[in-house]
Structure 1
Amino acid sequence: MPAPTPHRYKNRSKVWLYDGPGGWHFVTLSGKQSSEIAFLAAHSKSAWGSIPVIATVGRTSWKTSIFPDKKCGAYLLPLKAAVRIKEKIATGDTVAVTIELQT
């Protein structure tokens, strides 16, 4: 039996800075993508609702998780500093992101 096709999502979104402690940078996935992801990953969410993914921006891929944002009803992808530095990404930039669910 062939392996299931991974669920991949492409998105273009503006990088924004969380206004709390830590200085985390995020991109927000679309509402439509977030709804589908929530349905597909319902069985594999962590206690906080995070979902493991492989994210790709430019030529950089890394394992991380996306997190639900109850305010906007979408998932957020954190962009770690090493990725932002390597890809020369700053707050306010619009980036193309690909995520692959690891459920």
Structure 2
Amino acid sequence: MTFSFEAEVIYWRGPSPFFYAPLPAAEAEEVRRLSRLVTYGWGMIPVEVTIKGVVFTTAMFAKDGTYYLPLKAAVRKKTDVTAGDTIAVEMILQPAQR
């Protein structure tokens, strides 16, 4: 399943500080519906993501009624993305590797 959306990058200062792109409500609901088919445990959802032409893999997690898409430091550096930026995201859910 492929998703295209825009999201504002946030910086989360939790126990493990990191940058994320929270999914918009409609996309989060669709991921939630499909989550049982693709999760590899603990609610983690594997995805392939493209931002500004940079393709990478990661895993999203559910929090505060949405899913948080982690933005790796190497990706943020290549795309010049930081907190507060609105980014266009192309995302493909990946099957769980069991």
Q: Confirm or deny a common fold (TM above 0.5).
A: yes
1:1-103 matched pairs, under 5 angstroms: 7-69=1-63, 71=64, 73-103=65-95
Aligned equivalents of 1:102, 1:47: Cα separation in 2: 13
Bigger fraction of residues in helix: 2
Q: CA RMSD in A?
A: 1.2
Specify every segment of 5 or more residues in structure 1 that has no aligned partner in the other structure, as ranges: 1-6
* TM-score for the superposition, normalised by structure 1: 0.85
Residue identity opposite 2:86 in structure 1: T
Identity %: 34
Cα offset, 1:33, TM superposition: 1.0
Q: Greater Rg, structure 1 or structure 2?
A: 1
Q: TM-score, normalised by structure 2?
A: 0.89
Tell me, in whole angstroms, the C-alpha distance in 2 between the residues paired with 1:19 and 1:32: 26
